[in-house]
Structure 1
């Protein structure tokens, strides 16, 4: 009876909206046919073909390959919805210019491009670039566009559509930011988050690893990579010189707001940090919330990993000076993380801190948004079996170790200050799966992920741990990509958990390997 009622509601909605291409933010709040054959009867959520923003035959082929292998119809439906979601819905502009293609990728329901979100959204398609020339060109365009954003505003996190796209953006107004040397019409928001710059390096490195194509290494790209290095070095400076004189940070941010995490303390400078740690200060977290202490450990760790992933590209391009500079910088930061970013917890032993100030101040928590402490193996900074990581992981996935680990009747997972103390992020469940080797834990997490969609068949940002129908963001493409990445990881690493009996591990179309980064 429930399935018949759902079908009736979906038919009514579908007949109404298929007359034209509806806004996907609204479309994704409703159920659509066909429903999955599993116990949850999850909705189908791909737009009709003529309403999709980009089509990749290789992606569609991989969906069919995976569906044929998967044993759980609900998981298969989620994969079919989530894997192509970035291509189906968020490619707002693509200029396939032969000399310099560019691509504008939105995060979903917000019509702006975050360097971090877009890089992670697209990275799940990297193994297919050698099988789909149009997809390869799309990602090449994204690398080029990110380079332009970095050059125009290296301290900013989110950007408006490029002028050539003829798409109307929202000019940044009200915030007082230094350095002010950017056009507010180009910038959606200017919060300095070190993982944003790391994401540009990561996207470039992943594209090169997947294609060995050096065409993105233009003068503009090298200028952007050099600028990232320069900003990182400037951001290693602490708050006081050796003689005790205060050193004002290059970057400051002030916003008139009633929300404490939306602006920086001490006249927009943030709280003081110690000089000489070699860590890069980050004014904001990946959640776009202000850091408490600006030596943000997950962001520094991701920067180290992304820089090192870029080494082969710099070496092959014979950019020896830039390569040497990045090698030294990565080693400096890693040393700073191990010296200042770890401590001995009274219950869990030696663990990573979330944020530090270098003076002994520690923020003990984790936030679901990536990069997080839980995700450190996901970015290749540390092995998931390392005792230091295992201690940290136990702490983060416990109520007495992490104030933002939330336990509920429907799901349990990590949330964060961004959405309060009732909503966990499905992204944290997916990260926990990719960092686990325990079959029972993985299966339990998969059950919670399935329950988190409120029957809609897509990942959401935050989900009420007791009532999944209370969620934030119906259209959050980044988390949809993270779900697909998780399933492809299991298809390669633990196929017996998601495939029909006797079906071997899956490496992708024509055996294309699936990266975990």
Structure 2
């Protein structure tokens, strides 16, 4: 019997409602199914391996974002429920193997991944870049899953052990100078591939309650190692931990850490801009140095309401958003086909579909949503899927045709706005 029958039935009903817009219908179908049909493996141990697309490794971040739009179907489709539950189990298995790694192999293999990186990586590990959000995403997706299903079976011994591993790692990185052994060097690579100072990063003020991170969610090295969107996401992650930790002492510790970090973000992570007023910095060192920018990869400052860290109408968020969507942000680009944010990870003038969708998911402005939807439908270069980045003046120039995270986010955006899709599509197709 075919798997995921109820998911396909649900999807076909939805596709029939999009039949008057063939382009949207085709892109929605392709993007909705991208993760399920092209990047998901159900393994013999009952877990799920969700790789990123054209790279065969599983990122803790991507794999969480890739399945976000499926969770609503877990109650009507047991196969989907099992797939998500199996993914969560595998994510926490990986965290217990190495909480500092960002991406993992399907099976242990010393020949797979970035095997030249230092220190030497575990055979399970594809890449060992410490990105704070990698510890947050599995908690975020677990919480969304449990809120939707109420399925207690997800709290296995592996997951419970992972809760403690995450809490311990966060505590170490809150006191990075004194407690952390982490360093990273990629030999024979560009200088900006590794943190400064022998792989340990620039100096920073260790007297403030923020978590140290070596890399951003773009897999690019941090300039200053207090990465603010990562710390904001960690506040959410610690609040989730506080809900689910059975040990009340540890739960209280997680809750208190969340409050302390939030206070430190508000004290040190907000700067005054002469044009935009009080806004969030992207990175800080705690000595007064800061980096003002945003990157399409999530967690980003732009995506904070999507992650449920704050509300869209938060005044500091709105100031930050106006900065992000202006030419003062070094990674905001405007061209003939699009305007939006990109990333230092891709060439100059390349706008990311993830960035556009994050913008659309974090606005109450109907016209802004409509313009972005029109842009998304006009920049896939006849591939009928989303990409990583594309040139603002020429969508035929793009990176990554098989990038499942962007596809999942597109279908999530359509699902979130399905009630007004008729109005959004008026005059577009």
Would the TM-score normalized by the shorter structure come out above 0.5? yes
What does 1:324-363 correspond to in 2, within 5 Å?
Answer: 324-363=252-291
Q: Is the 8 A contact 1:108 1:476 kept in 2?
A: yes
1:323 aligns with 251
Are residue 189 (structure 1) and residue 127 (structure 2) matched?
yes
Which digits, 9 at most, give the CA deviation of each residue in 1:156-187, with x for residues without a partner?
00001135xxx99715421113xx6x62x111
Equivalent position to 1:176, from 95, 118, 138: 118
2:184 aligns with 253
SS in 2 for 1:470: strand
RMSD: 2.1
Aligned equivalents of 1:68, 1:103: Cα separation in 2: 30
Are residue 210 (structure 1) and residue 148 (structure 2) matched?
yes
Aligned equivalents of 2:179, 2:232: Cα separation in 1: 25
Aligned equivalents of 1:434, 1:497: Cα separation in 2: 16
Q: Is the 8 A contact 2:390 2:397 kept in 1?
A: yes
Aligned equivalents of 2:401, 2:118: Cα separation in 1: 31
SS in 2 for 1:281: coil
Equivalent position to 1:159, from 101, 104, 107: 104
Q: Is the 8 A contact 1:491 1:499 kept in 2?
A: no
Q: Is the 8 A contact 1:292 1:355 kept in 2?
A: yes
Equivalent position to 1:267, from 198, 203, 224: 198
Q: CA deviation at 1:215?
A: 1.6
Q: CA deviation at 1:311?
A: 4.3
1:223 aligns with 161
Q: Is the 8 A contact 1:111 1:169 kept in 2?
A: no
Aligned equivalents of 2:107, 2:215: Cα separation in 1: 24
Are residue 67 (structure 1) and residue 9 (structure 2) matched?
no
Are residue 497 (structure 1) and residue 423 (structure 2) matched?
yes
Q: CA deviation at 1:142?
A: 0.6
1:148 aligns with 93
Are residue 488 (structure 1) and residue 419 (structure 2) matched?
no
Aligned equivalents of 2:320, 2:9: Cα separation in 1: 39
Q: CA deviation at 1:432?
A: 0.6
Aligned equivalents of 2:34, 2:235: Cα separation in 1: 29
Q: Is the 8 A contact 2:173 2:179 kept in 1?
A: no
Q: CA deviation at 1:92?
A: 2.9
Q: CA deviation at 1:93?
A: 3.8
Count residues with an aligned counterpart: 426
The structure with the largest alpha-carbon Rg is 1
Equivalent position to 2:319, from 391, 394, 398: 391
1:237 aligns with 175
Q: Is the 8 A contact 1:238 1:276 kept in 2?
A: no
The structure-2 alpha-carbon separation of the partners of 1:328 and 1:83, relative to structure 1 and needing over 3 Å to count, comes to same
1:283 aligns with 214
Aligned equivalents of 2:14, 2:193: Cα separation in 1: 42
Aligned equivalents of 2:232, 2:402: Cα separation in 1: 29
Q: Is the 8 A contact 2:276 2:320 kept in 1?
A: yes
SS in 2 for 1:337: helix
Aligned equivalents of 1:324, 1:216: Cα separation in 2: 22
Q: CA deviation at 1:358?
A: 0.6
Aligned equivalents of 2:90, 2:357: Cα separation in 1: 29
Q: Is the 8 A contact 2:244 2:251 kept in 1?
A: no
SS in 1 for 2:396: coil
Q: CA deviation at 1:231?
A: 0.6
Which digits, 9 at most, give the CA deviation of each residue in 1:483-502, with x for residues without a partner?
0111111125x44534789x
2:236 aligns with 305
2:6 aligns with 58
The structure-2 alpha-carbon separation of the partners of 1:102 and 1:238, relative to structure 1 and needing over 3 Å to count, comes to closer
Q: CA deviation at 1:463?
A: 0.4
Equivalent position to 1:380, from 308, 313, 316: 308
Equivalent position to 1:453, from 374, 380, 401: 380
2:335 aligns with 408
Q: Is the 8 A contact 1:297 1:337 kept in 2?
A: yes
Aligned equivalents of 1:407, 1:451: Cα separation in 2: 15
2:74 aligns with 129
The structure-2 alpha-carbon separation of the partners of 1:500 and 1:470, relative to structure 1 and needing over 3 Å to count, comes to closer
The structure-2 alpha-carbon separation of the partners of 1:427 and 1:55, relative to structure 1 and needing over 3 Å to count, comes to farther
Q: CA deviation at 1:222?
A: 1.3
Q: CA deviation at 1:236?
A: 1.0
SS in 2 for 1:254: coil
